[in-house]
Amino acid sequence: MDEHKRAPGRYGIDEIEASQLEKWPNAHPERDYVVHLETPEFTCLCPRSGFPDFATIIIDYVPDQHVVELKSLKLYINSFREVKIFHEHVINVILEDFVAACDPLKVEIEGDFHVRGNIKTVVRAAYQKAQP
């Protein structure tokens, strides 16, 4: 069978379904610095209508001993595309998962959602590690 006539594979789909946030050692734990990440193609589904919601997710964090591995973040963010979840909840879920995976000194996550029904929604959630 010709390559172009084969049924579409699951390239990427299996990776997204199995995604987990991964971390790498921070090469500069001796200083505080901010890592700014933006994912402008976030999608999830409205729990009431089932219609897609689109957003830019912004993550600003100060790493401690680890930094997030970027491909794992991309796959993790893409894992929400078929999930029915409210804007407020998804940002808090991302925050909790990010903190559990990377244990940053501090992090703020913002979801800047596209206008839906004449309402623009921006949700921010933050975490700061307690200092000893």
Query: What residues are labeled active site?
Result: 46, 53
Distance CA 73, CA 68 (A): 7
CA distance 105 to 28: 13
- Distance CA(129)–CA(66), nearest Å, equals 14
Rounded CA-CA distance 80/90 in Å is 9
**Burial grade of 44 (CB within 10 A; 0-12, 13-18, 19 or more):** buried
**DSSP code, position 4:** G
